[in-house]
């Protein structure tokens, strides 16, 4: 049996997907989680083989959750999304995600993808992969992107510095570099620009 953990903050979608996957003979849904932190806690208890994560979750998104799950226990992660921006695919691959699937796929297709991932394979939706090859690359460094992610909810410079274990002055320097590179005047504008391009 393939042990699957699902994480999606939309209860109706999560429960419907769980019900459909439970109809497969070789798939056992061992946890249904509302967000990233609960998925991390559930993985410790369930030792799921494959984690299916919604990209657009509050707090930790699907990519950040995948990164933390893989540090917690051996598992393979699939990210599902409504808005498949190419920059997000690159970020997901860098985080060790082995499956990237649009939510428009049916449960039977997802079951096949889960089987492939559980067997050690990978699956990236072909259209998303093609878009990623032609998309604009981020001019920002990984650390600058980290600073934007950490401050995307309006956190103060001090809060960002604490969450990333950086000095406040270093955070201010990164923010200044980001504003200059993106040609915007506020951090919120920088966050929106980076989100629209799928960089964070």
Distance from C-alpha of 80 to C-alpha of 20, rounded to nearest angstrom: 16
List, in order of start, the domains of the chain with CATH numbers: 2-134 (3.40.50.2300), 142-196 (1.10.10.10)
pLDDT at 91: 83
Report residue 122 CA to chain centroid gap. 16
Residues 6+ away with beta carbon under 8 Å from 144: 174, 177, 178, 181
pLDDT at 135: 65
Token representation of residue 133 = 């090859």
**Four-residue CA torsion sign, 81, 86, 92, 97:** positive
Token representation of residue 73 = 């226990």
Strands of 103-179, DSSP E: 123-124
Q: What is the pLDDT along the chain (200 residues), one digit of tens a residue?
A: 999 999 999 999 999 999 999 999 999 999 999 999 999 999 999 999 999 999 999 888 999 999 999 998 999 999 998 876 767 888 888 899 999 998 888 899 999 999 999 999 999 988 888 777 666 678 899 899 999 999 988 899 999 999 999 999 999 999 999 999 999 999 999 998 888 777 88
**Four-residue CA torsion sign, 17, 23, 28, 30:** positive
């Amino acid at each position: 049996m393939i042990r699957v953990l699902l994480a999606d903050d939309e209860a109706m979608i999560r429960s419907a997907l769980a019900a459909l996957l439970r109809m497969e003979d070789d798939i056992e849904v061992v946890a249904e989680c509302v967000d990233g932190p609960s998925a991390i806690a559930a993985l410790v208890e369930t030792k799921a083989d494959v984690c299916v994560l919604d990209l657009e979750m509050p707090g930790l998104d699907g990519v950040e959750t995948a990164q933390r799950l893989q540090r917690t226990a051996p598992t393979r992660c699939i990210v599902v999304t409504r808005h498949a921006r190419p920059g997000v695919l690159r970020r997901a691959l860098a985080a060790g995600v082995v499956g990237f699937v649009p939510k428009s796929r049916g449960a039977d297709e997802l079951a096949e993808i889960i089987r492939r991932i559980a067997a050690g394979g990978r699956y990236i939706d072909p259209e998303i992969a093609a878009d990623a090859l032609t998309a604009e690359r981020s001019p920002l460094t990984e650390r600058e992107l980290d600073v934007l992610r950490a401050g995307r909810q309006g956190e103060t410079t001090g809060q960002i510095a604490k969450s990333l274990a950086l000095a406040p002055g270093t955070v201010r320097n990164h923010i200044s570099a980001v504003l200059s590179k993106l040609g915007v005047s506020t951090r919120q504008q920088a966050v929106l620009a980076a989100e629209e391009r799928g960089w964070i």
